[in-house]
Amino acid sequence: MRIGTQASYSGGFTQTAAEIRDLESAGLDIAAVAEVYTFDAVSQLGYLAAVTERVELLSAIFPIYSRTPALTAMTAAGLDFVSGGRFTLGLGASGPQVIEGWHGVPYDAPLQRTREVVEICRQVWRRERLDHQGKKYNVPLPADQGTGLGKPLKLINTPVRERIPVMLAALGPKNVELAAEIAEAWEPIFFMPERAQSVWGDALAAGKAKRAPELGDLQVITGVPVAIGDGLDEAALLDRVRPGLALYIGGMGARGKNFYNDLAVRYGFEAEAKEIQDLYLDGKKDEAAGKVPDELVRATSLIGPESHVAERISAFAEAGVTTLMLQPLDGSPEGRLKTVETMKRLAG
């Protein structure tokens, strides 16, 4: 089991990068940078590449709509170059709230676009001439939309690797099937080991049946809130996790168009998911957080003494997880460092 963490995107990044260096020394395997409606992730990943030596770097995630496929490929090749081959390209469709509300572009055909983006990226990294013939990305453009002068080009530079690993963030059955088919890694959210097979098993099996052998085994990367130790106030710590779950289940989308709410329903929390969403969208965020089921909070977190956390790590591993992205509940640099050290020891 590998251990990672996500760099903070809301504070001073120089301080965060210095902490990532300390965590790297403690054995951290992966450092991720998110990109939502924040500073762009590319500049911060480049900064991390310059100040780290061993830790792998991950975009978690680049929305597929915010860059052209060729620019995504160029960016990934550049980050892989400056990091010495340590970059993984994390991609995802995000959702209408960010794509339409922030980027101002239509949220359409996420599955087809994802497939084409990955195909184009791999063509670029192999330095093939691009001849866009997809359903969503194609040339030459019709005369009324362009000049008709486009011609196939190939990347000028030679990438460090012609196959940069791709991770797809996916939740719905079709998206997960696609990830299992074409990506090196898959990132689910709110991963419940005991229910993962019933929710995602069929989709994973269908995707893996079409998977190319050169992709290797599908890596599974998921985030977990973590607090380890004896005598913890576990109830208080679990309460700190609830608002984040309520935000996604209740507020990340509209009624009838919230992928995270849909996941809670598939997990078996249909009534709770509806109540959380109703409260959240009515502005009652604290009440919504209070309705997040204990079972969901406990199953998706690592909170408790070392013996309990070790058991839960095993449960995640048995369910197919290969990397745990830690979200330490101790907010101090010292506490986060201790969390990484302990998790490295427990995860073996």
Cα 1–chain centre separation: 17
Segment 168-186 mean pLDDT: 97
Output the DSSP codes for 9-72. SSS-HHHHHHHHHHHHHTT--EEEE--SSSS-HHHHHHHHHHH-SS-EEEES-EETTSS-HHHH
CB contact at 8 A, 17 and 338: no
Query: What type of residue is 50?
Result: A
CB contact at 8 A, 26 and 343: no
> What average pLDDT is seen over the chain?
93
CB contact at 8 A, 323 and 220: yes
d(CA 190, CA 272): 15
Segment 42-46 mean pLDDT: 95
Q: How confident is the model at residue 282 (pLDDT cuts 50, 70, 90)?
A: very high
d(CA 78, CA 64): 17
The token duo for 288 is 């919504």
pLDDT of residue 96: 83
The overall pTM is greater than 0.75 = yes
Q: How confident is the model at residue 145 (pLDDT cuts 50, 70, 90)?
A: low
The dihedral over CA atoms of 75, 171, 3, 229, expressed in degrees to the nearest 10, equals 140
Q: Flag the least confident range among 17-26, 55-64, 79-88, 136-145.
A: 136-145
Segment 136-149 mean pLDDT: 62
Segment 208-224 mean pLDDT: 97
> Residues 81, 82, 83, CA angle at the centre, nearest 5°?
90
CB contact at 8 A, 20 and 49: no
Please state, as a whole number, how many other Cβ atoms lie within 10 Å of the Cβ of residue 289.
Answer: 23
What angle, 0 to 180 degrees and rounded to 10, lies between the N-to-C axes of helices 193-209 and 306-318? 20
pLDDT of residue 149: 62
Q: How confident is the model at residue 256 (pLDDT cuts 50, 70, 90)?
A: confident
Render pLDDT for 313-332 as a digit per residue (tens, 0 to 9): 999 999 999 999 999 999 88
pLDDT of residue 136: 86
pLDDT of residue 139: 61
Domain boundaries, the chain: 2-224+306-347, 231-304
Segment 47-62 mean pLDDT: 96
Q: How confident is the model at residue 10 (pLDDT cuts 50, 70, 90)?
A: low
CB contact at 8 A, 51 and 23: no
pLDDT of residue 146: 58
pLDDT at 142 over 60: no
Task: Annotate 156-185 with b (16+ C-beta within 10 A) or e (fewer).
Answer: eeebbeeebbbbbbbbbbebbbbbbbbbbb
Segment 8-17 mean pLDDT: 80
d(CA 204, CA 196): 10
The token duo for 137 is 């990305």
**DSSP state for residue 248 in the 8-state scheme:** I
d(CA 268, CA 256): 17
pLDDT at 143 over 60: no
CB contact at 8 A, 4 and 325: yes
pLDDT of residue 140: 55
The token duo for 135 is 């359903």
Task: Give the CATH fold of the 2-224+306-347 domain.
Answer: TIM Barrel (3.20.20)
pLDDT at 95 over 80: yes
Q: How confident is the model at residue 133 (pLDDT cuts 50, 70, 90)?
A: confident
9, 211, 3: which is closest to 118 by C-alpha? 211
pLDDT of residue 147: 58
61: preceding bond cis by omega (within 30 degrees): yes
pLDDT of residue 37: 86
Q: How confident is the model at residue 11 (pLDDT cuts 50, 70, 90)?
A: low
